[in-house]
Structure 1
């Protein structure tokens, strides 16, 4: 519907939560757009979202439904497709195989071993930020570099190349709304970079994740070429983009609620529950990526046709008054907190333990190092990036002295 598109292009991110409240009460399975042979649905209630994400009737691989893979038409003009067979967009058994391949790198035990290094990186970044004169952008100086350094070191990406991924990932994430003019140029640059990096690692393997993936590819059945590229692209983007939002959004919510910020300063042991509340209150991922109905079906009173696109609003589910007491209240002591910010079912976010750890360390270090940290007022009339799938800030200027 054109009116929905217009809302997104104006101030939808600022006013979305009352809209979700209205949908949950009046039209929880919402037909966001309707074409002659296709409807896009948005699911907004917590229990419905969980049911949809767990259901085998909603599939990720649209090639099972459409002979012409239209959503990738603009990308399929090169020999290597970095989006082909991405773990995020396939169903079992391919999803099971790919997830099993990377799971050892993201299990809680492995992630816990990264804690000393993450603390070290956080301290180094805050040392650098403290040397700057005047207000600093917390995203540029801290929330962005922290997770990109961590995932780069895990993958084995040279330190001098990390900042290249910010532009590339921003372009790719923005393409969830519409293709930017430089989309293909950035995709090609990303592909060329990975091709060169893979060649270097094949010649000289190191003790990193990319070297392990290359070995899996050479072993034959576990990983093919396009899956290799897609896996690394997914881990780079998902491994930092959403964590940037988690850290910055949670700090923004704390600044909006001074009583909660003061509570956290007084007791930094609350960082774990503060991060969970940040995940719920300003969910870093607003919508799940696309799923399609494999057959005609009835879903809570709505007829969903084969091939209809279905999205779950994690942001809406996390403010559902039927699941959360005072859902629009930001409470860093909230327990229990059964949010679905990391999704649900077999596609539950693989990087959740890492994101949680990075978020907790980030908040604790900020409170310890800069107990008088405050947000610069009137930074912008529209703080949120106009990206459909994600909720992230354009910037976050703070005073740290």
Structure 2
């Protein structure tokens, strides 16, 4: 069984996974990774096997949250260990039921006109700026922040405060647990103040509904209430903002696919799925670790109980067994796209429908109103925030 070092090295390009991952995917259903201090985990790279890790309850998030090795060596940070991301059913199910109605496909479609309006307003603001202008500050971060803040009931004017904490909590392997813990505490105190104000003057928002579930129905504790608000706010803007940036960089890399979308905007909904499959959003190669609760045979490999298992979603999304010779091609008109970028099973991303809608509206707005939009700096001059689990560009200068 092949063994790779962890953390895995940065790939030579932003637009494809590490070549060694394609090699181990071809040669073995499961491989090993090892850290400098002796930590060992099982790396899973093939689509169907990764999906099994995500949906099979024998691969436990809660056990990973309790494992010091999984947390310290393989990147299960403070947010994951202290939120629904670090829970298994039935605790996970109990909390998810409280919020899932806010993120159904029907509810998200009701939000689409407002999201489109925000996109239009942000583009108006962008057009009033001198060129080049920073797309991160003026569009890609502002859009999901405003949408999730309105949904949750958080003042969007506080964006600069909570985004700094969010960056810290999205830290990857090697992040200082004390720093992450301090950020979680600061954000918890921030939400404690908002919850206090909402109790006095509830609104028509998700936070007020959660407070009612806490105070009137006793369905969650005060600590769970705070942590749930923290998780929803971070999950509702951080990845979507960075996905917008990476989509634009990817379309610059593949101008013929961008031209197809410019000529036929009806392709946008399907293109978002293909871009979710193709874009290398994660700064690392794997998603959150699991720990086996019993011995499991996966792809013919026996994984002992208590083992850390790393699902490599980015390379699984390009599995030749699923896509044949075109697994590394970007095709915005590809039919029946399958990907695991939102996870699967009980931990399938709560806000997947919301993220899809925002990405569709963002791409539609930028392509139709700014057809000449161009990133104004080459890849080598882009500056990415260090130590985060997603590729987060500090600024994205654009012209139009």
Q: Deviations for 1:138-179, whole angstroms, at most 9, x for unmatched residues?
A: 222211110011000101011321222211111110154411
Counterpart check, 1:39 vs 2:36: no
Equivalent position SS for 2:32: strand
Equivalent position SS for 1:146: helix
Return the offset for 1:299.
2.2
Return the offset for 1:289.
1.5
Return the offset for 1:284.
3.3
Q: Structure 1 CA distance, aligned partners of 2:213 and 2:69?
A: 28
Gaps of 5+ in 2: 73-77
Q: Structure 2 CA distance, aligned partners of 1:392 and 1:195?
A: 28
Equivalent position SS for 1:311: strand
Return the offset for 1:2.
9.2
TM-score (normalised: structure 1): 0.89
Counterpart check, 1:375 vs 2:375: yes
Please list, as runs of the form range in 1=range in 2, the aligned pairs for 1:98-109 lying within 5 A after superposition.
Answer: 98-109=95-106
> Which residue does the alignment assign to 1:366?
366
Equivalent position SS for 1:7: coil
Q: Deviations for 1:283-329, whole angstroms, at most 9, x for unmatched residues?
A: 53553212111123332233322222112111011111111141111
* Change in CA separation of 1:320 and 1:182 when aligned onto 2, cut-off 3 Å: same
Checking the alignment, whether the CA contact within 8 Å between 1:194 and 1:229 is kept in structure 2 is yes
Please list, as runs of the form range in 1=range in 2, the aligned pairs for 1:209-220 lying within 5 A after superposition.
Answer: 209-219=206-216
Return the offset for 1:84.
6.0
* Change in CA separation of 1:180 and 1:154 when aligned onto 2, cut-off 3 Å: same
Return the offset for 1:35.
8.7
How many residues were matched structurally? 390
Gaps of 5+ in 1: 73-80
1:146 to 131, 143, 146: 143
Q: Structure 2 CA distance, aligned partners of 1:259 and 1:274?
A: 13
Equivalent position SS for 2:147: helix
* Change in CA separation of 1:392 and 1:334 when aligned onto 2, cut-off 3 Å: farther
> Which residue does the alignment assign to 1:89?
86
* Change in CA separation of 1:284 and 1:147 when aligned onto 2, cut-off 3 Å: same
> Which residue does the alignment assign to 2:19?
18
> Which residue does the alignment assign to 1:131?
128
Return the offset for 1:386.
4.6
Q: Deviations for 1:330-372, whole angstroms, at most 9, x for unmatched residues?
A: 1110111111111111111111110010000000100111111
Counterpart check, 1:258 vs 2:251: no
Q: Structure 1 CA distance, aligned partners of 2:369 and 2:382?
A: 29
Q: Structure 2 CA distance, aligned partners of 1:151 and 1:5?
A: 32
Taking only aligned residues, the RMSD between alpha carbons, in angstroms, comes to: 2.7
